[in-house]
Amino acid sequence: MSQYPSLTWAPADALVDLTWFIESADDERMDQDDAVRALDGVAAVVGRMSDSQRAELQQVIEEMTVAETHPGRREFLEGFPDGFGLGE
């Protein structure tokens, strides 16, 4: 049985993990120009979503935030909607 309550939740979880890793990576782990390009790419994909798709992703992110027990990841989740254009 899946640990994810919906199909949307699984890729959203992967997206959050990936963006959290990229955003927190230092110069030794990742070239910062590459990091910025990758994060800009995520924001661009979110920008191309329909309003209903962004709303669905935002709802999943809100549910993930409530369920998150890791303080750093929870803080990242709290800022994700504004940082990646979900609130627009």
pLDDT of 2 reads 61
Q: Report the domain count for the chain.
A: 1
pLDDT of 17 reads 92
Under DSSP, is residue 6 helix (H, G, I), strand (E, B) or coil? coil
Residue range 31-38: mean pLDDT, rounded: 91
In this structure, the dihedral spanned by the alpha carbons of residues 19, 77, 29 and 47, taken in order and rounded to 10 degrees, is 30
Domain carrying residue 14: 1-21+36-88
Residue range 29-33: mean pLDDT, rounded: 89
- Would residue 68 count as lying in a domain? yes
88: its two tokens: 């627009």
- Would residue 44 count as lying in a domain? yes
- Would residue 27 count as lying in a domain? no
Residue range 10-25: mean pLDDT, rounded: 91
- Would residue 62 count as lying in a domain? yes
Q: Would you place residue 63 in the very low, low, confident or very high pLDDT band (cuts 50, 70, 90)?
A: very high
- Would residue 29 count as lying in a domain? no
Residue 7 has pLDDT above 80, yes or no: no
pLDDT of 76 reads 94
